Amino acid sequence: MIIHIVAGGPTERIPKLEHSQTDNVIWVGVDRGVSYLLKQNIKPAKAFGDFDSITSQELHDIKAQLPYAEIFPSEKDETDTEIAVNWAIEQNPELIRIYGGTGGRLDHFLGNIQLLLKGLERNIQIELHDIQNQLYAIREGSYTITKNETFPFVSFMPITPHVKGITLNGFKYPLEKKHIRFGDTLCISNELEVESGTFSFDEGILMMIRSRDYHPLS
């Protein structure tokens, strides 16, 4: 089972969703993301939010089409997206993807990055996707990575204060047992030179970003 969460970020940053509709995907809408899903003719299985970023007519339509939508007060301890992620984790899926979680307000974006760590605690991969980027959080270990022509750039950024023993093989800029700390930019904007490369590190948590340059018509 895969859970796709569509949050309330700028819709122009959300990639086309029709390619992601498969039988094993459960859709979840968050705040303005609920309206976006309905406009894409996708009926979410769950809907969460305080819905303070949509019109009264849009909220009326959501209540009519999704009587099970869970409406929360604006003043609360968790963001709407965190509420959705907490629910998704309890379903024990193999993967959670978040759309509409980047762009717009930086505080929400940075908060959504931190939500990636919730998946690590339960061994569930959580990803942030938009039209230019795919973000993941990864614990120490050894991994294989394949070339992706759509997202050719690969960056690694430490989430923990230190990440030790990074080794990159098959990359344009290889590394051997390098230590980096929070704030270093050494591992930003690399590229694979082979179809399948490897990376590993001994200690810490990395955020891996697969990205591409922005092209308005793409």
Query: Per-residue pLDDT tens for 68-118?
Result: 999 888 878 889 999 999 999 999 999 999 999 998 889 989 999 999 999
What local confidence, expressed as pLDDT, does residue 114 receive?
A: 93
- Which pLDDT score, from 0 to 100, does residue 55 have? 86
Question: Where is the domain boundary, 131, 162, 193?
Answer: 131
Say what the pLDDT of residue 216 is.
64
Residue 16 per-residue DSSP state: P
Report the pLDDT value the prediction gives residue 155, as an integer from 0 to 100.
98
Domain that holds residue 142: 136-211
Q: Which residues does the chain have with pLDDT short of 50?
A: none
Domain endpoint, select from 105, 131, 157: 131
CA dist 118 to 70, 86, 88, 106, 107, Å? 22, 8, 11, 19, 18
Cα–Cα–Cα angle for 122, 98, 80, nearest 5°?
Answer: 85
Can you give the pTM of this predicted structure?
0.92
Q: Tell me, yes or no, whether 125 and 147 share the same domain.
A: no
| CATH number of the domain residue 166 falls in | 3.40.50.10240
Does residue 76 share a domain with residue 15? yes
Q: Do 68 and 99 have their domain in common?
A: yes
* Close Cβ partners of 121 (under 8 Å, ≥ 6 residues apart): none
What's the pLDDT score for residue 54? Answer: 85
Count the domains in the chain: 2
